[in-house]
Amino acid sequence: MRLTPTEIEMIKKTFYEVFGDGKIYLFGSRVDDSLKGGDIDLFIDTITTNKLQKKIEFLSALKQRIGDQKIDVVISKDYTRLIEREALAKGIEL
């Protein structure tokens, strides 16, 4: 996994502050230690309401904590979507 311990801690802290409960996964190129670069792809599995508003709050707070990096966030909606299946199958729960 190509995140620093501090980045992982800040992602988890921000997630629990904004969403309260659920699970968060890192997926995509950052789970492969042999690759370089790439954005931070996060999948959030939550039953919370106001998902769009919370996504904006999460991204804003996270960028303040870890710096202005390219971060993509996918929030659970329909487990039949390919991106959700990929995130759950190949992602790493933080």
β-pairing, 40-45 with 23-27?
Answer: antiparallel
- Dihedrals phi, psi of 54, to nearest 5 degrees: -65, -35
> Which amino acid, residue 6?
T
pLDDT band of 83, cuts 50, 70, 90: very high
pLDDT tens for each residue of 26-60: 998 888 777 777 789 999 999 988 999 999 999 99
2-33 confidence digits (pLDDT tens): 788 999 999 999 999 999 999 999 998 888 77
Domains of the chain, residue spans = 5-93
CA distance 16 to 37: 27
3 and 31 in contact (C-beta within 8 Å)? no
What is the pLDDT at residue 6?
94
| Total Cβ atoms within 10 A of residue 1 | 12
Decide: 94 and 9 in contact? Cβ < 8 Å: no
To the nearest whole number, what is the mean pLDDT of the chain?
91
**Two tokens at 92?**
């790493």
CATH architecture of 5-93: 2-Layer Sandwich (3.30)
